[in-house]
Amino acid sequence: MYRKQISPVQIFIAGLAIFAMLFGGGNLIYPIKAGLLGGKNFIPSMIGFLLTSVCLPFMGLLAIILFDGDYRSFFYRIGRIPGSLLILMCMLVIGPIIAMPRILTVSHAMLSPLLPANSFVVYAIVFLLITFAGAFKENKIIALFGYFVAPVLLASLGIIVVKGWYFVDPITINPMSGLAAFRTNIRFGLSTLDLFGTIFFGSLIVSIFKQNLKRATYIRANTLMSMVLYAGLIGFALLGIVYVGMASLGLMHGMGLEHINRPLLFSEVALTVLGKSGAFIIVAAILMACISTAIALSAVVVEYLQRDVGRNKISYIPALVFVLLLTFFFSLLGYDWILKISVMTVEAIGVPIVITITFANIAYKLAGFRPIKTPVAIVALYTTFMFVWKLLV
């Protein structure tokens, strides 16, 4: 009887890959902003941020694991048509309309102090070519991220954080109360959009694990899901540790940066800590964070195009090229436009709906709680009403 196991080392590598997939451009900005705004209320500030940037996405991973990595059955519980429409919306959000152009524009903005003026188009082309090379072979993504991207990213961020602890500028003082800091950073945590990413990255991880074990017919499904869950625990633990370290940089070196253009926040703090001599480390951190997430998002969206849109009639490479070209064109609209659309629609309406589906599905799998259409409909109506109300008032 043939049995092929995934070793603890492979699970750890998968955990590193999950960390690299989730830690994108926005993840370099929001924790620093959380620490900067927290000031003397650093602890409640970080609790709020970690609840929605680590704990909530982990619940998304747990939910998709309970559905055997099948995001279609996960969303189809609200009905096949609304579920399909919501999947389409999620793919547009995490793909070529919002998340991927945001990564591209944010990474360029963060590197702008080190780049020539008017360099965006050239930068975007090079960035997307690297993304294409990384996403070219989908089944190699975990190895690429786990063995190379995540170690380089963790090392570069570790150097910046540890160096930042060696000297401390005046601690930022913010008049915001502890409760206000908590609530503000809950919103910042949601702005990472990692709940969306985790549901689909979890599906990708499960799919790749299954491909690597395709001859292992005697490995139980729950054993495979446990492996993915362990990898997720590793990835999210690393994510939380890095977030706290990054937030401490905002607390210790963010004085005077309260109103700076948000994409410049990381590079300004990193340059304060390392100076121009540390430019290589800063570039490595930014590129590893941004390109890794772009690669993972590309793979997820391409798989969707192949299977759901093209009915397996579209090959992987043309679909990948199409996604990257769309990303390029939407990135030309600029970071401010992308952020505005993200805040207005996704965070106001999409996130509450996906949160509701996530917890309803967990309750369904673990406790047999069947209602989902009514809770989702109530949340959708309420969030849509509040969205329209804010536009009109």
Q: What is the pLDDT of residues 102-160, one digit of tens each?
A: 999 999 988 888 888 889 999 999 999 999 999 988 778 888 999 999 999 999 999 99
Q: Answer whether residue 176 shows pLDDT above 80.
A: no
Q: What is the pLDDT of residues 72-97, one digit of tens each?
A: 999 999 999 999 999 998 898 889 99
Query: Is 80 among the domain residues?
Result: yes
Can you tell me the distance from the alpha carbon of 51 to that of 72, in angstroms, rounded to the nearest whole number?
26
User: Closest by alpha carbon to 360, among 344, 373, 345?
Assistant: 373
pTM above 0.95, yes or no: no
DSSP three-state, residue 1? coil
User: Closest by alpha carbon to 308, among 76, 44, 50, 19?
Assistant: 76
| Total length of the chain | 393
User: Closest by alpha carbon to 267, among 33, 23, 28, 49?
Assistant: 28
Q: Answer whether residue 39 shows pLDDT above 90.
A: no
Query: Is 87 among the domain residues?
Result: yes
Query: What number is the average pLDDT over the span 160-175?
Result: 76
Q: Answer whether residue 3 shows pLDDT above 70.
A: no
Tell me if 103 sits within 8 A of 323, measured CB to CB: no
Angstrom distances, CA of residue 159 to CA of 77, 278, 282, 292:
45, 10, 10, 19
**Tokens 């063995």 — which residue?**
147
Query: Is 172 among the domain residues?
Result: yes
Our CA angle for 285, 289, 290, nearest 5°, is: 120
User: Closest by alpha carbon to 152, among 273, 19, 266?
Assistant: 19
Alpha-carbon 215 to chain mean position: 32
Query: Is 125 among the domain residues?
Result: yes
Query: Is 265 among the domain residues?
Result: yes
Query: What number is the average pLDDT over the span 169-185?
Result: 77
Provide the domain limits for residue 157: 8-335
Can you tell me the distance from the alpha carbon of 112 to that of 257, in angstroms, rounded to the nearest whole number?
17
pLDDT of residue 363: 96
Q: How confident is the model at residue 175 (pLDDT cuts 50, 70, 90)?
A: low
Query: Is 366 among the domain residues?
Result: no
Q: Answer whether residue 219 shows pLDDT above 60.
A: no
pLDDT of residue 347: 65
% of the chain residues with pLDDT over 70 = 92
Average pLDDT score, the chain: 87
Q: What is the pLDDT of residues 355-367, one digit of tens each?
A: 999 999 999 999 9
pLDDT of residue 357: 96
Query: Is 341 among the domain residues?
Result: no
Tell me if 97 sits within 8 A of 326, measured CB to CB: yes
pLDDT of residue 348: 67
pLDDT of residue 304: 93
Q: How confident is the model at residue 213 (pLDDT cuts 50, 70, 90)?
A: low
Highest mean pLDDT among 56-65, 267-276, 307-316: 56-65
DSSP state of 310: S
Query: Is 385 among the domain residues?
Result: no
Query: What number is the average pLDDT over the span 311-332?
Result: 92
**What is the number of domains present in the chain?**
1
Q: Answer whether residue 336 shows pLDDT above 50.
A: yes
pLDDT of residue 2: 39
Task: Dump the DSSP string for 62-109.
Answer: HHHHHTTT-HHHHHHTT-HHHHHHHHHHHHHHHTTTTHHHHHHHHHHH
